[in-house]
Structure 1
């Protein structure tokens, strides 16, 4: 085991604890619908609240971490992210629910750029090591519906304060990770910046593709539980199972994508994944019956296979602004998908949920077109000596 492995493992586990709260918002939606009688648009509004401020402040945190090392953000933002979700079930009003979920989104936004910077230093620019860091986030997503179901299905929304526990564990893991890689974490980003020029055009094209992918995944996260109940029946248990499959398929996809990229290159694997996503998402929306679950797993695997590749490609396209690149590829481009959820919910209220999800089939194809002109970036000369 390399000296960097313990730090990457701790960072990955901490990432899992943070991304529980990105997945938890979508997992709470069916309970808000059943306990409070919210419509699709109102449910989408909760997802929007978690994404809107997060999307706005994410580039700010990325810019800040490009100027100053702020490793203390990792445990602090983890606790903030968890506290917001923990309060969501006990606020007593829709408005206060939106506020605390928005606070959670800010915590998640603050975490990702600095965590990606520290992970990049700890990984020594290994794509596979960054893949393990990304996998932690995917596992957090996957755990969220089980955690929410275990807590809220048993005690109702008033039991939501128990959801703060992963944040406390995650904060402790972040502190341990920073101790393990404390020299690297303290290096000034400016001092560690590699030689090379920023390729802004390629980064913008990549970001556009990631936004397309984000809209699809966040929309599925928001509504696949309700959609599965409509298509298959069986109540909230079926909905929780569909959401879990969506998230766990993403975790598998991340590992497979990293392994394939080591053999075939990042861009080919990324393009193949977007092409496969078109077919898989079409299957989720259009194929009837229990086959829905097969296509959910296939879609999530295809959508997440390029996830860690997005991060390293973005960092390599903007070698002088790694924090900003991480804030976009790991944070902003993910959370921005939540901005579309209320529109999808409103369309579902006006027509049907199935009709509202049909446009998602086209978006991975748009992402594939944006990726076509890209070329593999030159490997930065890095590296921070530590």
Structure 2
């Protein structure tokens, strides 16, 4: 039960952080409406949120490999919320970019350490990591609804209210780190086991980058695209974005379940292959069927999500923090670098034309996964290992995983 409690608290805290990743895309239609941003200017907001996060996450991962830093969970959560909360306080484009960049820095600080703690708390279980990833996907799914409720009813000047999830998330992270211990075991005494497979990790990282490009491209422009395709209703765009993020929650749970029956590489490979047709449907299929294609795309892209995190950690068993920082952070955030290209192409042609190349991205991920081996499973711990807030060390309990 203590293991389940730890994972549940970490998952809920993860949801509160990823609300702010989803909020960037959810704010785009309001920025376009209130400040008359073009596609290129809107894509610059997505880029600002991703750029600093992309650079910082591997650095935080390397830092936590050298010394555990559980305080980054509540601190990163608050910083992520603060940036989004201030993003609507000024009409200045430069200040808006700075605020979303600060939010991205908070996200960068949170994810590598949270992935390390979640791996310890779950004892290396794919299912436990799937539940942890589920929290982030729920946060993504709630973001457009939260932004619509706050900003849609009162304008961008109400964004300071969006700080509330960050405060809740910080409290949940502290609760997870304070989970009572039966037996303490310092992280420093746990030797790294195994040999790093850097070649496989590089291929995995490239596959995650391709996945990130298609997901970030869709999340940044789907709301505007659905509004165009379905009659000009802002509610249609919000609904499409909600479906995209909610499907990710289902995909994460499904991925953990499928990994219990087949190896992770095979599950990821088939998911990416099926995603090719789903993304094509989003771009090309007319009418309300768009929503079905969005749901299939989301599930297909998120089935591999938590599996890629554990694969990366198994390919780099001596650098778990770095692996988490890259697979859960850098390669996810780096997709935002493609947003300006999509925005400029959309300004020059049409949004549909700009989104069409995204169909190729899951195919590239599939090709990269074809050459990946399934790493040997790590030695499963028979105890829980949440982190003690007071000692900055993981602790263990005798309990099962979720």
State the TM-score, normalizing by the size of structure 2. 0.93
Note the 1:118-129 alignment, pairs <5 A. Answer: 118-129=117-128
Note the 1:64-83 alignment, pairs <5 A. Answer: 64-83=63-82
* Secondary structure at 1:320 match in 2: coil
Q: Verify the 8 A CA contact 1:122 1:181 in the aligned structure 2.
A: no
* Secondary structure at 2:273 match in 1: helix
> By percentage of residues, which structure has more helix?
1
- In the alignment, is residue 204 of structure 1 matched against residue 182 of structure 2? no
Equivalent residue number for residue 112 of structure 1: 111
Structure 1: how far apart are the matches of 2:180 and 2:228?
Answer: 48
Structure 2: how far apart are the matches of 1:174 and 1:168?
Answer: 10
- Cα deviation, residue 258, structure 1: 1.1
Structure 2: how far apart are the matches of 1:254 and 1:343?
Answer: 29
Aligned length: 384
Equivalent residue number for residue 20 of structure 1: 19
- In the alignment, is residue 301 of structure 1 matched against residue 304 of structure 2? no
Q: 1:349 to 1:372 in 2, by over 3 A?
A: same
- Cα deviation, residue 288, structure 1: 1.0
Q: Verify the 8 A CA contact 1:253 1:302 in the aligned structure 2.
A: yes
Structure 2: how far apart are the matches of 1:193 and 1:227?
Answer: 50
Equivalent residue number for residue 267 of structure 1: 265
- Cα deviation, residue 92, structure 1: 2.3
Equivalent residue number for residue 174 of structure 1: 173
- Cα deviation, residue 186, structure 1: 8.2
Q: Verify the 8 A CA contact 1:13 1:136 in the aligned structure 2.
A: yes
Note the 1:311-350 alignment, pairs <5 A. Answer: 311-350=309-348
Equivalent residue number for residue 148 of structure 1: 147
- Cα deviation, residue 121, structure 1: 0.5
Q: Verify the 8 A CA contact 1:194 1:380 in the aligned structure 2.
A: no
Q: Verify the 8 A CA contact 2:61 2:322 in the aligned structure 1.
A: yes
Q: 1:272 to 1:75 in 2, by over 3 A?
A: same
Structure 2: how far apart are the matches of 1:253 and 1:314?
Answer: 19
- Cα deviation, residue 380, structure 1: 2.5
Q: Verify the 8 A CA contact 1:69 1:186 in the aligned structure 2.
A: no
- In the alignment, is residue 225 of structure 1 matched against residue 236 of structure 2? no
- In the alignment, is residue 95 of structure 1 matched against residue 94 of structure 2? yes
Structure 2: how far apart are the matches of 1:248 and 1:156?
Answer: 25
Q: Verify the 8 A CA contact 2:52 2:104 in the aligned structure 1.
A: yes
Unaligned regions of 5+ residues in structure 2, if any?
A: 386-394, 397-402
Over the aligned positions, Cα root-mean-square deviation in angstroms equals: 1.5
Structure 1: how far apart are the matches of 2:230 and 2:289?
Answer: 9
Q: 1:185 to 1:323 in 2, by over 3 A?
A: farther
Structure 1: how far apart are the matches of 2:218 and 2:183?
Answer: 37
* Displacement over 6 Å in runs of 4+: 181-186
Structure 2: how far apart are the matches of 1:183 and 1:74?
Answer: 23
Q: Verify the 8 A CA contact 1:118 1:184 in the aligned structure 2.
A: no
Equivalent residue number for residue 215 of structure 1: 213
- Cα deviation, residue 177, structure 1: 0.3
Note the 1:251-262 alignment, pairs <5 A. Answer: 251-262=249-260
